[in-house]
Amino acid sequence: MSHYLPLSRVARLVGQSRSALQRLIHDGQLATFDGMVDMNELLRVFPDVQWEEDGEFRRVEEIKANAFRKRVLDRVLPDKEVLAERLYEVGKEFAAAKALLLHYDEVFRFLADKLEDVAESGGATTQEAVAGVKHWLKHELDAAPQEAERAEQLLAQESVMRILSATVTVLPSGHEFFVEGNDTILEAALRAGIPLNYGCSNGNCGDCKVRLVSGQVKKVHPHDYVLKETEKAGGALLMCSYTAVSDVVIEAGVAGADDMPHQEIPTRVKAVEALNEQIVALHLTAPRSQRLRFLAGQRVILEAGGLRGEYPIASCPCEDRHIELHVRRDNRPFSRRVFEEMRKEDVVRVEGPAGTFVIKLDSRRPVVFVAWGEGFAPVKSLIQHAMSLEVAETMHLYWVDGDTGHYQDNLCRAWADAYDNFFYTPLSAGAGSANLVQAILAAHPDMTRCDLYAAAPEGLLTPLREAALSRRLSPLGWHDEVLSSASASISIASP
Ligand code: FES
């Protein structure tokens, strides 16, 4: 009997990233059917996985250990009715499987009687053949328990996952994310960093309207926006009002840079963190009711005390209300204010976003990132977004120090340690542009399947682009952000 699981749940079960599984699929080592993995295939490809070690079981153990303390319940468990419906669905499947087993039992009994009849009415050869069939059947049935035990663990683990969370698949992009706790589909998508279209977040504008293709949903917040009867009949729903009860497939457009509305948001300074002598990380918190919509790699204008400055965002859109920016020490008034006067709880107005230096959300190819000095900020945002969405097959970061240094070198080394598809090469600007281009492209002789994102001065971008295109990088795979701050004016010495 086949039992199919979505790829994101398989990734959780086996403790691997989706991109690692995509590589196995690409290499023909893991078979899928319509993007789903058969349970028997999963048992075959991952014979050594210990299901009990999975985080979901640990979370259930945590609930038990904490005697269902409210804090844990709020974080882990969905709404009571959603929970009841999910349990009912799992119960229905269990009942159907049990009924099927009883039916098979009947068929086996019937078969045994028939074989006896055949043996009795036949000669010695027939009796010998029947004995052979019975022996084979007994052997096969006796041999089953070892694999059945693993299958049982897998099914138990998967059932716990399906009760605690549901998977949402977005068409046509193919993105997948989990709906956990009391989240609406919209909240879960934003937490996963998937920029689906929305507006008010509270059921008034209709901008988060999508079409339900399959699966079961439940309204958890009322909405004032009125859906037409024909829309409802076609499966339309508002993501900010509904949660997923079962695994669902929705048809929804993923927003691009042009779809981001212009916003003006009053934020509070959470921290001013010195990363080195030249750079501080400014951590801002958006109001609960007005988080900033942006795509990784975009810029915003900051305003405090009448002073303004434009900076790329260094954090991932999946970080909820947190916005991080890297401010360089220079003579610009806003920079001086940040370095000399800015304190926790100060108000900073954020305006934007702007810019098209954004990640291609549908690309699952190798990605090369190049950052120069504080050009690391937008690149960091892109990398964190790519990591959260697991969109890239491999990621290679080349960071040229400029005059700010590798001010988050430890973070990059930690990424390289934690992710087997992430590689980090720090470079020195003193090497000169020709040597830098050579060092960056040394490991990429053929860039046909790559995307290249570079935030650097023109002096590096121009030769890098030419060299990458000569290595068959598609012009559509080139994405750049010209560094316009003080470090951009540093001339790049040729070797
Ligand atoms: S975002 Fe406005 S109705 Fe959902």
Distance CA 173, CA 252 (A): 8
In tens, the pLDDT along 25-63 reads 878 888 888 778 888 888 888 887 765 455 544 554 454
Give yes or no: residues 139 and 151 share one domain: yes
Residue 57 lies in a domain: yes
Answer yes or no: is the C-beta of 224 below 6 A from any ligand 1 atom. no
| Residue 280 belongs to a domain | yes
Question: Position of tokens 């281009």?
Answer: 437
**Mutation to probe ligand 1, out of 190, 204, 221, 242 (largest number of atoms < 8 A from CB):** 204
Higher-pLDDT residue of 236, 46: 236
Q: Are 215 and 139 found together in one domain?
A: no
- Cβ-in-10-Å burial (0-12, 13-18, 19+) of 343 comes to exposed
Query: Which run of H or of E encompasses 310?
Result: strand 307-312
Name which of 355, 379, 367, 312 is nearest 478 in CA terms: 367
175 occurs within a structural domain: yes
Count of CA atoms in the C-beta half-sphere (13 A) of 338: 32
Identify whether residues 266 and 320 lie together within a single domain: yes
Domain boundary among 159, 187, 220: 159
Say yes or no: 139 and 94 in one domain.
yes
**Whether residues 245 and 172 fall in one domain:** yes
207 pocket-lining for ligand 1 (C-beta < 6 Å):
yes
Instruction: Looking at the structure, tell me whether residues 193 and 294 fall in a common domain.
Output: no
Cβ atoms of 318 and 191 within 8 Å: the answer is yes
Dist. CA 178 → ligand 1 center (Å) = 20
Whether 279 is in a domain gets the answer yes
Please, are residues 168 and 250 in contact by the beta-carbon 8 Å criterion? Answer: yes
User: CA torsion, points 130, 132, 138, 141, in degrees to nearest 10?
Assistant: -100
What confidence tier does 279 reach under pLDDT thresholds 50, 70, 90? very high
Q: Which domain holds residue 221?
A: 163-257
pTM reported for the whole predicted model: 0.76
Q: Is residue 362 part of a domain?
A: no
pLDDT band at 233; cut points 50, 70, 90: very high
How confident is the model at residue 75, as a pLDDT? Answer: 53
Does residue 495 lie within any of the structural domains? no
- 270: domain CATH number? 2.40.30.10
List CB contacts of 300: < 8 A, sequence separation 6 or more.
292, 294, 310, 311, 313, 323, 325, 350, 351, 352, 353, 354
Q: What is the pairing mode between strands 367-372 and 395-400?
A: parallel
Atom of ligand 1 nearest to the CA of 205: 2
Domain C-terminal end among 206, 233, 257: 257
Question: Both 231 and 152 in a single domain?
Answer: no
Which residue(s) pair with 244 in the sheet? Answer: 217
Q: Answer yes or no: do 335 and 309 share one domain.
A: yes
- Taking a C-beta distance cutoff of 8 angstroms, is the pair 75, 181 a contact? yes
Print the SS3 string covering 414-436: HHHHHCCCEEEEEECHHHCHHHH
- 494 occurs within a structural domain: no
One domain for residues 485 and 371: yes
| CATH for 183 | 3.10.20.30
The per-residue pLDDT for range 298-313, each reduced to its tens digit, is 999 999 999 999 999 9
Q: What is the mean pLDDT of residues 435-462?
A: 95
What pLDDT score was predicted for residue 74? 52
Residues 339, 300 within the same domain: yes
Task: Please count the structural domains in the chain.
Answer: 5
The answer on 397 and 472 residing in a single domain is yes
389 and 479, same domain (yes or no):
yes
Residue 359 lies in a domain: no
